[in-house]
Chains A and B, each alone.
Chain A
């Protein structure tokens, strides 16, 4: 490849010097926002029993038929919505536990 590098030793060394003078709080505009989430709940083994005699584990399942078809194309269309010519996702409904029922009626 014949592309000439646009970076020179001076530019790279200069960038390191610049980085050294930057406050730790400085973040490149429009480039990054650093976030930190708390302690992971995931991956906890315990020796307790769960929910007793009635729930998901004992429900009959048939993944090949209609039993779970409400998770269909509509569900994600419903979550993704258009506003001002742009497609938005989420809004209040996205984690509304009633949403699946709404989908089921439509589906």
Chain B
């Protein structure tokens, strides 16, 4: 399915369709909007959490409209419960579609996780076992989302703290299977790889080497917190509350060496810093992105010019 062709057919949006520029983007926070607009911040794109713009009107939509006039956006759902055992909430999906129709985002993504069960929304990205049964369920849900919104979505690999004894697929193979069976693309969260690898005792580089990276259309980067598990061993928490750590920057470079230049997002959701700090973090990612071009900077600048 070609996302660009489908979006250009949507008549409802007042915004032009664009691909995400191959640059660093930043997760949009309401408190940064004034700084961003006043400084005409040089940022590749902004990612928004869909649920935050599902209200009927007011400030959130006014802010997003202004941002969208100047920047491409990526729409990232956090509450679809793609990995849920029950049905997708049709009302939620309809609201999701409405947002896409209005703002015409360059990318649409969701998580390999569940958050709703028996009509209760748990406000967290909860883990699922990797079995044939859950694979079929996830693929069915992605199919449903893609057919309702009329375009391809990206699915993000999770940070997890537990595993299920019944899992008989590896996470890497599971991700490859859902993409193969549903036609979705993948959002590769490098920090999640590092967090899950540490928590479950495997090497993040092994995960990256085995991953179907040719399906990756966007990368996420974030900071994490350190805690300890039941045996006092290190347990990492996907807290999005600080800078990206050196290990994750290194894995990011490894990833880019395999994917080629890919739009990359800095996520910082807790202990939200000043706009200046966040912008610096994005510049760091931009610098690494430039170097990932085989033909270095010329390609980057042509990308930037078309953005």
Interface residues of A (CB under 8 A from B): 39-40, 43-53
Q: List 10 A-B contacts (CB under 8 A).
A: A39-B30, A44-B52, A46-B269, A47-B76, A47-B111, A47-B269, A48-B241, A49-B124, A49-B238, A53-B235
* Ranked 4 nearest A-B pairs via Cβ: A48-B240, A45-B51, A48-B269, A46-B269
Chain A at the B interface: SS class: loop
Q: Is B123 close to A, CB under 8 A?
A: yes
Q: Is B21 close to A, CB under 8 A?
A: no
Residues B55 and A43 in contact, CB atoms below 8 Å apart:
yes
CA distance A43 to B241 in the complex (A): 19
Please indicate the chain B residues that have their CB under 8 angstroms from the CB of A43 in the complex.
52, 55
Q: Nearest CB to that of B223 among chain A residues? A: A48
Extra 17 A-B pairs, beta carbons < 8 Å, given A48-B222, A52-B225, A52-B239: A39-B30, A39-B59, A44-B52, A45-B51, A45-B52, A45-B78, A47-B78, A47-B111, A47-B125, A47-B269, A49-B124, A49-B125, A49-B237, A49-B239, A49-B240, A50-B237, A52-B237
User: Closest CB of chain B to A13's CB: distance in Å?
Assistant: 34
Interface-central residue, A47, A50, A51, A53, by most chain B CB under 10 Å: A47
Residues A45 and B59 in contact, CB atoms below 8 Å apart:
no
With A45-B79, A45-B123, A47-B111 as contacts: A53 and B227 at CB distance below 8 Å: yes
Please indicate the chain A residues that have their CB under 8 angstroms from the CB of B225 in the complex.
52
Q: Is B69 close to A, CB under 8 A?
A: no
CA distance A14 to B118 in the complex (A): 60
Q: Nearest CB to that of B224 among chain A residues? A: A49
CA distance A46 to B48 in the complex (A): 9
User: Closest CB of chain B to A42's CB: distance in Å?
Assistant: 11
CA distance A45 to B235 in the complex (A): 24
CA distance A46 to B27 in the complex (A): 10
Q: Which single member of B49, B55, B241 contacts A47 (CB below 8 Å)?
A: B49
Please indicate the chain A residues that have their CB under 8 angstroms from the CB of B31 in the complex.
39
User: Closest CB of chain B to A7's CB: distance in Å?
Assistant: 35
With A39-B30, A43-B52, A53-B228 as contacts: A48 and B238 at CB distance below 8 Å: yes
Please indicate the chain B residues that have their CB under 8 angstroms from the CB of A46 in the complex.
49, 78, 240, 269-270
Please indicate the chain B residues that have their CB under 8 angstroms from the CB of A52 in the complex.
225, 227, 235, 237, 239
Residues A40 and B59 in contact, CB atoms below 8 Å apart:
yes
Please indicate the chain B residues that have their CB under 8 angstroms from the CB of A44 in the complex.
30, 49, 52
Q: Nearest CB to that of B79 among chain A residues? A: A45
Please indicate the chain A residues that have their CB under 8 angstroms from the CB of B123 in the complex.
45
CA distance A98 to B302 in the complex (A): 59
Q: Nearest CB to that of A52 among chain B residues? A: B227
Which of chain B's residues 195-234 have a Cβ closer than 8 Å to chain A? 222, 225, 227-229
Which of chain B's residues 23-72 have a Cβ closer than 8 Å to chain A? 30-31, 49, 51-52, 55, 59
Q: Nearest CB to that of A40 among chain B residues? A: B59
CA distance A48 to B238 in the complex (A): 6
